[in-house]
Amino acid sequence: MITQLMPAMVKVADKEVHSPEFATLYVNQAIDFKPGQFVMVWIPGVDEKPYTISHHSPDRFGITVEAKGVFSKKAVCLGPGDKIGIRGPFGNGFNMGIDHKRVAVVAGGCGMAPLAPLVEAFQTDNGPEILLIQGARSKSFLLYPDRFTAKVEICTDDGSKGYKGFVTDILVQKIKDLSAACAPDFDMVYACGPEIMMAKVFDICEAHGIPCQVSLERYMRCGFGVCGACVCGHAVVCKDGPVFGSKALRTMADFNTRALLKTGKPVPLNEYATWRCQ
């Protein structure tokens, strides 16, 4: 059984290779889960890292890995029968609200992973109207094509698929379109992607009086709010987050400015990102 205590060693049941960079590892185990939560994934002898759950059903879940650093390059090479340790789930997850009529989900690159189960959870008969805005560097970095029944707007930095430009351009346009049509605004905007993108989404939402929730990333150790490795201003990302709403973002000192290295030293986000990709 997977819990927040000792890692449970489980077998990788299947692997889906999305592109040379991305793969999803599936585990045939039940896990009590809410969209936006994460698990700590341990490869003995290598390291342990936080991964969001990108696929979930009552008896199975998946994590999507992007080959970037030492751990993730090992992880994407795992296959059926390989064992990994899992503890969790941790964090708060997205607040899905109770009577949203219309929501926007804004995903940048691998930020699609935590948002995918959210989109699926909203895709019910009584669920809200969903607009998914998905962007990536180029076509091959767009995760899970054709996975959703929701309306999807695609964009890429290089124009290899969809609109050439940023997800935030599309979000602004859609808010304007709704306003021009005298239609009600989005009740909530959910976003995950590079922090600068999420900060832009937050600013756009603030300017239009729309509440939003974003999922942050920081270097983590314990996963349950004790060690302090992932603090972002006064917020403990692994425990108070990783999902933060507009109210928390307004007073979060280090949001879109600083993150801590493994030593605990605060550095600008671009320096942090360079280190994380090593």
Partner 1 sequence: MQTTFLGKTLHTPLVLASGVLGNNKAILERVWENGCGLPTMKSIGPAPREGHKNPTVIDLGNGMINAVGLPSPGYLNMEEEWQELSGRAFPVNASIYGGSVDEFVRVAEFVSAQGPDFIELNISCPNSDKHGMIFGVNAQSSHEVVAAVKKVIHVPLIAKLTPAAPDIAGIAKACEDAGADAICAINTAGPGMVIDIESRCPVLAFKKGGLSGPMIKPIAVRCVYDIFRSVSIPIIGLGGISTGKDAIEIIMAGATLVGIGTAVRYRGINVFDKVNKEINDWLTAHDTTMEEIRGAAHREAL
Q: Does 42 bind partner 1 (CB under 8 A)?
A: yes
The string of DSSP letters for the chain reads ---SSSPEEEE--EEEE-SSSEEEEEE-S-----TT-EEEEEETTTEEEEEE--EEETTEEEEEEE--SHHHHHHTT--TT-EEEEEEEES------SS-SEEEEEEEGGGHHHHHHHHHHH-STTSPEEEEEEEESSGGG--STT--SSEEEEEESSSSSSEES-HHHHHHHHHHHHHHTTPPPPSEEEEESSHHHHHHHHHHHHHHT--EEEE-----SSSSSSS-TTEETTEEHHHH-SEEEHHHHHT-TTTTTEEE-TTS-EEEHHHHHHHHT-
Largest CA distance in the chain: 58
- Residues 226-265 close enough to bind partner 1 by CB under 8 A: 226-229, 231, 233-234, 236, 253-254, 260-265
How many residues bind to partner 1 according to rule CB under 8 A?
Answer: 37
CB neighbourhood size of 187 (10 A): 16
Instruction: Identify which of residues 45 and 209 has a Cβ nearer to partner 1 in the complex.
Output: 45
Interface region with partner 1, contact rule CB under 8 A, candidates 14-22, 56-64, 79-87, 130-138: 79-87
Judged by CB, which is closer to partner 1: 164, or 234? Answer: 234
Q: Is 159 in the site for partner 1 (CB under 8 A)?
A: no
127 binds partner 1 (CB under 8 A): no
Select from 38-46, 107-115, 161-169, 174-182 the region that touches partner 1 (CB under 8 A). 38-46
Work out which of 74, 127, 266, 273 binds partner 1, going by CB under 8 A. 266
Q: Minimal distance in Å, beta carbon 186 to partner 1? A: 30
Distance in Å, CB of 147 to partner 1, minimum: 30
Out of 1, 20, 32, 45, point to the residue binding partner 1 (CB under 8 A): 45
Note whether 81 binds partner 1 by CB under 8 A.
Answer: no
Rule CB under 8 A: is residue 224 a binding residue for partner 1? Answer: yes
* 222 interacts with partner 1 by CB under 8 A: yes
Q: Rank residues 7 and 162 by Cβ distance to partner 1 and give the closer one.
A: 7
Asked whether position 278 contacts partner 1 by CB under 8 A, the answer is no
Report yes or no: 199 and 255 within 8 Å, Cβ to Cβ: yes
Smallest distance, Å, CB 8 to partner 1? 9
d(CA 79, CA 139): 25
Residues of the shown chain interacting with partner 1 in the complex, contacts defined by CB under 8 A:
4-7, 9, 40, 42, 44-45, 47-49, 83, 85, 87, 221-229, 231, 233-234, 236, 253-254, 260-266
